[in-house]
Amino acid sequence: MLSKIQNKRTYLAIGLVLLLLVLMPWIISGYWVRLLTSVFMFAVLAKAIDLMMGYTGYVPFGNVVFFGLGAYTTGILMSRGWMFIPGMLVGILISVFVCIVFGLPVLRLRGHYFAVATIGLNGAIMAIALNTTGLTGGAMGIIFPALDMDPGALNRLFYFIMMGLMILAVVINIIIVRSRFGFAIRSIKSNEAAARSLGINTTLYKTSTWIISAVITSVAGSVYGWWMSYISTVDVFNVMIGVTAILMVLLGGAGTILGPIVGAFIFQLLSEVIWSQFLTFHLGILGVITMLVILFVPRGLVVGLTDWLRSRSKRAKKEGV
Out of 10, 201, 310, 312, the only residue in the binding site for other proteins (CB under 8 A) is 201
Site string for other proteins, 172-191 (x = CB under 8 A): ------xxx--xx-xx-xxx
Give Rg (Cα) of the chain.
20
Out of 134, 151, 199, 320, the only residue in the binding site for other proteins (CB under 8 A) is 199
Q: Does 202 bind other proteins (CB under 8 A)?
A: yes
Q: Does 315 bind other proteins (CB under 8 A)?
A: no
Specify the stretch interacting with other proteins by CB under 8 A; choose among 14-22, 26-34, 83-91, 194-202: 194-202
Q: Does 198 bind other proteins (CB under 8 A)?
A: yes
Out of 193, 279, 295, 321, the only residue in the binding site for other proteins (CB under 8 A) is 193
Which residues, at least 6 apart from 303, have a Cβ–Cβ distance to it below 8 Å? 253, 256, 259, 297
76 phi and psi angles, rounded to 5 deg: -60, -45
Task: Kindly state the DSSP code that residue 321 receives in the 8-state scheme.
Answer: -
Considering the complex, state which of residue 138 and residue 182 has its C-beta at the smaller distance from other proteins. 182
Cα separation of the two ends of the chain: 17
Is residue 252 within 8 A of residue 266, CB to CB? The reply is yes
Task: Kindly state the DSSP code that residue 191 receives in the 8-state scheme.
Answer: -
Tell me, by CB under 8 A, how many residues bind other proteins.
Answer: 20
Specify the stretch interacting with other proteins by CB under 8 A; choose among 80-88, 200-208, 218-226, 272-280: 200-208
Strand ranges, E, within the chain: 142-143, 230-231
Nearest to 73 by CA among 120, 150, 135: 135
Is residue 60 within 8 A of residue 118, CB to CB? The reply is yes
Q: How many CB atoms lie within 10 A of CB 37?
A: 23
Nearest to 235 by CA among 59, 64, 56, 8: 64
Q: Does 196 bind other proteins (CB under 8 A)?
A: yes
Specify the stretch interacting with other proteins by CB under 8 A; choose among 27-35, 37-45, 193-201, 232-240: 193-201
* Residues belonging to the chain: 321
Q: Does 206 bind other proteins (CB under 8 A)?
A: no
Considering the complex, state which of residue 55 and residue 158 has its C-beta at the smaller distance from other proteins. 55
Q: Does 200 bind other proteins (CB under 8 A)?
A: yes
Considering the complex, state which of residue 133 and residue 191 has its C-beta at the smaller distance from other proteins. 191
Residue 212: CB minimum distance to other proteins, A = 19
Provide DSSP, 12-74: HHHHHHHHHHHHGGGTS-HHHHHHHHHHHHHHHHHHHHHHHHTTT----TTTHHHHHHHHHHH
Q: Does 195 bind other proteins (CB under 8 A)?
A: yes
Which value, to the nearest 10 degrees, does the dihedral of the CA atoms of residues 132, 137, 140, 142 take?
-130
Residues in 129-168 that interact with other proteins by CB under 8 A = none
Considering the complex, state which of residue 231 and residue 249 has its C-beta at the smaller distance from other proteins. 249
Considering the complex, state which of residue 131 and residue 201 has its C-beta at the smaller distance from other proteins. 201
Residue 307: CB minimum distance to other proteins, A = 13
Residue 190: CB minimum distance to other proteins, A = 4
Residue 255: CB minimum distance to other proteins, A = 8
Q: Does 56 bind other proteins (CB under 8 A)?
A: no
Considering the complex, state which of residue 22 and residue 198 has its C-beta at the smaller distance from other proteins. 198
Q: How far apart are CA 27 and CA 179, in angstroms?
A: 39
Binding positions for other proteins, rule: CB under 8 A: 178-180, 183-184, 186-187, 189-191, 193-202
